[in-house]
Amino acid sequence: MMHKVLISVAAAGLLTACADVWNYEEVATQSNAGTAFDAALQKDYVALAAHEANYGDWDDTAYYTNKAKLAAAGQTPAPTAMAERELGSYTGELTAARSALVTALGAGAPSSNPTVAAKAQTSFDCWAEEAEEDRQPEHIRECKQNFEIAMNALGGAPAPAVVSEGFKVFFALDSARLSPESEATLDRVSQAFLSGSPASVMVVGYADTSGPADYNILLSQRRAEAVARGLAQRGIASEVLTLEAYGEERLAVPTADGVVEQQNRRVEVVFGG
């Protein structure tokens, strides 16, 4: 009986600890020990935590609650670091956006326009979070739009990233071999790269759902590697290439498991910076 009581007490302690990391409502009532910028961050991060709690995303509820706590204590939290999120094809755009945000914050925006500066930072964090999940395009657009509105108000809108729209390389079923059509696509990628000299090239592999998930992640990796080799052969230095593979995740055409779909058997190539 004592053993059961001890387990119950331990479990209660664990639940209390978990509840604390999600307790954005309590953080909302805390007085702010920092600047006007910190107070605005506290308010906005609490709002983001409440939003994520409403969707049952407890990891991000805790993430935003912690940032709200730091802001309340006057320990100004930084914008989401690129390494904190797996951003895939969104990396280039978000890298440029974060650079512009950091520049604006460093130029005095938190003092001259604290409310809008906080909105820019928290909207960036929201954008990065939604981009990593990549499940709700309308939420991605909303967070991005809020970020851009705030940055425009601060006079620090990010310069547009070098964009490669629709560089997609498609593959035959259960294959990582480049077809003549794929080779032609890589020629176009190379020409665009050499004319624009972007700082980075993201190569992201995918698969359809027609095979086992663990096999498909490896297949998508082989596809990304095949494209990267093709780009290297065309004069794009390996140092600027970043490879990622998602297998059946992030389907271009949503399907059930076990469905053959060419649009999902792809590698996307995105320029950044």
Domains in the chain: ranges and CATH:
2-154 (no CATH), 168-272 (3.30.1330.60)
Q: How far apart are CA 230 and CA 8, in angstroms?
A: 59
Q: Return the DSSP state at 203.
A: E
Q: How far apart are CA 131 and CA 147, in angstroms?
A: 13
Predicted TM-score (pTM) of the model is 0.55
What are the angstrom distances between the C-alpha of 12 and each of 16, 17, 39, 66, 197? 6, 9, 32, 21, 57
The pLDDT value given to residue 57: 87
86, 101 contact by CB (below 8 A): no
The pLDDT value given to residue 157: 54
Q: How far apart are CA 22 and CA 62, in angstroms?
A: 5
Q: How far apart are CA 255 and CA 44, in angstroms?
A: 36
The pLDDT value given to residue 121: 97
The pLDDT value given to residue 156: 62
Q: Which of 250, 227, 232, 230 is nearest to 176 (CA)?
A: 227
The pLDDT value given to residue 200: 82
Averages of pLDDT over each 10 residues, the chain, 273 residues: 35 45 86 96 95 89 94 95 90 90 92 94 96 90 90 69 66 96 94 82 92 92 94 89 87 93 94 74
